[in-house]
Amino acid sequence: MLVVEDLTARYGPIEALRSASLRVGAGEIVAVLGPNGAGKTTMLAAIMGLIKPVSGRVLLQGRDITRQDPERVVRLGVSLVPEHRRIFKNLTVRENLRLGAAARRGGPWDADLGGLLELFPILAERMGQLAGFLSGGEAQQLAIARALMGAPRLLLLDEPSLGLAPRLVESLFELIAGMRARGFTILLVEQNAYQALEIADRAYVLSNGRIQVEAPAEVLRDEEELMRAYVGTGGGQAAGGATAERGAGDRRAAP
């Protein structure tokens, strides 16, 4: 579904992503883990065309989409759920969902709405409500549902658990796992490493802009020393908000 090859991206003189490569197969959940500043969000921004990479390329089902404008990337079948959700708070839930379908490829905007609301039943109860009055968990569900309204081939999730209470985090990850069961392909950026690894098929660990590790999710879950070094946590605890240990970016580990 997605191939990223030797992608390098900068913000001015700062090289935020360094020759990073990853693959996402159709129907997979692939997690990208790492501390703040590792380059995770930059990876998603480069895939979406929000920033233009210095070198490397991005392929969607074999088609080169490198340096395409974001609206073109969306029309080709990639949707992003950004960090902090960024829903339109002064619009209703229904209006937010309708906006999400603006780049829909064929069919009326509400063609799949019934099936989508089966995944997000709380939104069915809130359709006429202003999005600004939703709880944090409801707002995150709306952000994901809005992205799915475009009928994407690939969904990019940027820190979906950010700012949510622990009980909501658990239900959110159950929801994401349920999306895979329905055939969605997901690239998941997350600091909550152990929760992400519970639902992911494979994972990549980013540190200092470089991919340091690629492994099946269940293998990474058992590598406590590796997780502590690169993600900043160990012993099965969630990694939200953790930072990598000093010098960890200089280490190398075999997949």
Last residue within a domain, chosen from 106, 127, 152: 152
The predicted pLDDT at position 230 comes to 66
Do residue 62 and residue 88 come from a single domain? Answer: no
What whole-number distance in Å separates Cα of residue 205 and Cα of residue 96? Answer: 33
Do residue 145 and residue 205 come from a single domain? Answer: no
Do residue 53 and residue 85 come from a single domain? Answer: no
- Residue 180, in any domain of the structure: no
Do residue 68 and residue 189 come from a single domain? Answer: yes
CB 206 within 8 A of CB 20: yes
- CATH code of the domain containing 62: 3.40.50.300
- Residue 214, in any domain of the structure: yes
* 221 membership: H or E segment, kind and range: helix 217-222
The predicted pLDDT at position 10 comes to 92
The predicted pLDDT at position 81 comes to 92
Tens digits of per-residue pLDDT, 214-241?
999 999 888 877 777 666 654 344 333 3
The predicted pLDDT at position 105 comes to 64
Last residue within a domain, chosen from 108, 135, 152: 152
SS3 state of residue 68: coil
Do residue 50 and residue 107 come from a single domain? Answer: no
Q: How many CB atoms lie within 10 A of CB 103?
A: 18
Do residue 199 and residue 253 come from a single domain? Answer: yes
Q: How many CA atoms lie within 13 A of 236 on its CB side?
A: 0
For the chain, which residues score pLDDT lower than 70? 105-108, 111, 229-255
The predicted pLDDT at position 151 comes to 84
Do residue 133 and residue 95 come from a single domain? Answer: yes
> How many domains does the chain divide into?
2
- Residue 208, in any domain of the structure: yes
Note down the domain range covering 121. 78-152
Q: How many CB atoms lie within 10 A of CB 241?
A: 12
* Single-letter amino acid code for the residue at 25: G
